[in-house]
């Protein structure tokens, strides 16, 4: 060790010893002044403080529980919304598939509503995959359907992907 370090350590030791000696003197003088009444009064103050702290803690726990239940309720509602949207997508695509005639068309050649092409939609799914654990399979895989069914289905699929993103973001909060 260098000389400078040794001097600094020695100075710190002296300072600690000085403060320890002062604290010891204060405690000794206070100990002489303690009476059973003062001790009981101090214990009562400590107990009151403990109770106040416990009450604050209980209120905080109750508030946290209410907030957690609210978040779970919202999450359940959003998941239910996603389920109902997916069911509507399936029903719509089945009904429109039955009602429309004509040969199936590849998704890759279709410009979707909103001007997005399938490749752009795939890119959007890849970019936003970090926002949620999974990207909708029906959004990313090519499907062969009629043009209007595809447009309706992929618009709702985008809504589902966005809703999943919102649900996952809600669970992280």
* Residue 99 scores a pLDDT above 60: yes
**Who contacts 108 (Cβ-Cβ below 8 Å, separation ≥6)?**
117, 118, 119, 142
Q: Give me the helices (H) in the chain, please.
A: 3-33, 36-99, 118-127, 137-140, 147-172
* Residue 170 scores a pLDDT above 60: no
Which is nearest to 121 in space by CA: 162, 75, 63?
162
* Residue 136 scores a pLDDT above 80: no
* Residue 153 scores a pLDDT above 90: no
pLDDT tens-place string over residues 40-49: 998 999 999 9
* Residue 125 scores a pLDDT above 60: yes
> CA-to-CA distance for 143 and 106, rounded, in angstroms?
7
Q: What is the pLDDT of residue 131?
A: 46
Of 161 and 31, the structure prediction assigns the larger pLDDT to 31
* Residue 157 scores a pLDDT above 70: no
Give, in order, the Cα–Cα distances in Å from 40 to each of 25, 26, 43, 64, 94. 23, 20, 5, 36, 80
Of 81 and 167, the structure prediction assigns the larger pLDDT to 81
Q: Confirm whether pTM is higher than 0.85.
A: no
Q: What is the pLDDT of residue 33?
A: 81
Mean pLDDT of 14-31: 92
3-state secondary structure of 1: coil
| Cβ–Cβ under 8 Å, residues 138 and 156 | no
Confidence class for position 63, pLDDT limits 50, 70, 90: very high
Q: What is the mean pLDDT of the chain?
A: 73
* Residue 112 scores a pLDDT above 50: no
Stated as kind and residue range, the H or E segment containing 132 is none
């Amino acid at each position: 060790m260098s000389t400078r370090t040794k001097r600094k350590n020695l100075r710190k030791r002296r300072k600690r010893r000085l403060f320890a000696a002062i604290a010891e003197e204060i405690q000794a003088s206070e100990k002489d002044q303690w009476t059973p009444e003062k001790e009981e009064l101090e214990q009562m103050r400590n107990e009151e403080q403990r109770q106040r702290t416990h009450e604050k803690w209980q209120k905080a726990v109750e508030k946290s529980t209410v907030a957690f239940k609210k978040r779970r309720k919202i999450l359940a509602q959003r998941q239910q919304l996603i389920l109902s949207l997916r069911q509507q997508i399936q029903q719509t695509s089945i009904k429109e598939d039955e009602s429309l005639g004509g040969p199936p068309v590849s998704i890759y050649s279709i410009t979707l509503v909103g001007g997005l092409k399938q490749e752009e939609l795939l890119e959007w799914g890849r970019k936003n995959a970090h926002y949620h654990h999974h990207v909708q399979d029906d959004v990313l895989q090519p499907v062969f359907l009629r043009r209007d069914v595809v447009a309706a289905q992929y618009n709702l699929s985008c809504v589902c992907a966005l809703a999943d993103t919102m649900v996952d973001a809600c669970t992280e909060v």
